Structure 1
């Protein structure tokens, strides 16, 4: 019988932590209506992924759900398979593949598993393959690149640990939101406040958009900044 009172001694390079609960469902649902660009503006404009592209076909598709994180050796997907056994419907798999695109980490067969598990989507700092299958509706995916070359299944890897994905720090349970503009991670503990700030930001943008449409924008919005920099405006 396994002694569950003792900490697990993982082999070097391996770790499997329990799934972390994300924000409440009402907050997740509300973020589905929030543009990623506006969320980023509400979070200081310097967080989010870069260098990824969407491989699902419909630009209007939104990815939104709590993160299950995976860190793998570049070109190896053993622990991704294990993570797919652990996800709950709506989860988003965030994979740190070290930005390597020489071998695909995930392909069409695994997409079938993602659909069966009702995954909310995938964000991969690595490569995928079987692009025609990923372009079909139903499974949003962002990745660094693509190649026909398949992965190994040897490990090592870690599940539900802090990862870095395309320049973005992600903790297990963080809320991941992705749309045509990109992907962002909202810390689970801050999600309610970020939602509030995003809504306020969108209200401000609506006011600015209306003055732009009417041609009544206040020139002082930018002239004041230029004068502070010493320009004779």
Structure 2
């Protein structure tokens, strides 16, 4: 019988590294603009340093304040993986700190995403290893289990599957299904290039076409009044 809630799936299919790396220089905002503007993770999950987050999701589901399965995942994960920890947003116990981060660096992992708390915040802010988390708490975790590894999880209001492409920058965090990634990448590159053209136009003094603003207001029935009485 399957031991639901306490099990480990030992491996999963990872996307080609070249496809993953292709998103490295693309702003998360541009990706979200091309995913219906509803794909980003809850803004409460924030970056703790300026290191760019790019890699493959290695998912972990843990009980509130317990990191037994986080430790198991840390041993299992491969170079380029990002540990995505579904901790239920619980903030009263940290799920990791300086030691686990340094072990992940040694293993050449690509980052942590934690829907929960961390500790050793000062160290985290100064290390070249991307960490996204919901908060900080010095209380240490329990190590009792249960939990699951490499199952679909919910993190910051988004569903994440093992093998999803993870992209994070100072604006926020987003997950991409590998099957959607090639077409999405082409759209995002074109979108980003158009933004660069617009910014060049502004910086060169040519200005910006703003006629769409008046058009939108008129179409929505906005009333224009000449003077405040």
Is this a same-fold pair by TM over 0.5?
yes
The structural deviation recorded for 1:204 is 1.9
Q: Is the 8 A contact 1:69 1:161 kept in 2?
A: yes
Name the SS for the 1:80 alignment partner.
Answer: helix
| 1:221 aligns to 2:212 (yes or no) | yes
2:45 to 33, 52, 68: 52
- Separation in 2 of the partners of 1:204 and 1:189? 25
Unaligned 5+ segments in structure 1 are 1-8
Give me the CA root mean square deviation.
1.5
Paired position in structure 2 for 1:22: 14
- Separation in 1 of the partners of 2:219 and 2:105? 55
Paired position in structure 1 for 2:156: 166
The structural deviation recorded for 1:84 is 1.0
Name the SS for the 1:111 alignment partner.
Answer: helix
2:35 to 10, 32, 43: 43
TM-score scaled by structure 1?
Answer: 0.90
- Separation in 1 of the partners of 2:10 and 2:181? 21
- Residues 89-132 of structure 1 deviation map (CA, whole Å, 9 limit, x = unaligned): 11111111000000011112211221121110011000011123
- Separation in 2 of the partners of 1:135 and 1:209? 31
- Residues 179-225 of structure 1 deviation map (CA, whole Å, 9 limit, x = unaligned): 11111001111111111111011122123223433343223222221
Q: Is the 8 A contact 1:19 1:68 kept in 2?
A: no
Q: Trace 1:125-164 onto structure 2 (pairs within 5 A).
A: 125-164=115-154
- Separation in 1 of the partners of 2:94 and 2:207? 52
Aligned length: 222
Using the TM superposition, name which of 208-217 and 165-174 deviates more.
208-217
The structural deviation recorded for 1:232 is 5.7
- Separation in 2 of the partners of 1:19 and 1:198? 30
TM-score scaled by structure 2?
Answer: 0.91
Q: Is the 8 A contact 1:31 1:177 kept in 2?
A: yes
The structural deviation recorded for 1:229 is 0.7
Paired position in structure 2 for 1:78: 68
- Residues 120-153 of structure 1 deviation map (CA, whole Å, 9 limit, x = unaligned): 0011000011123222323110100011100000
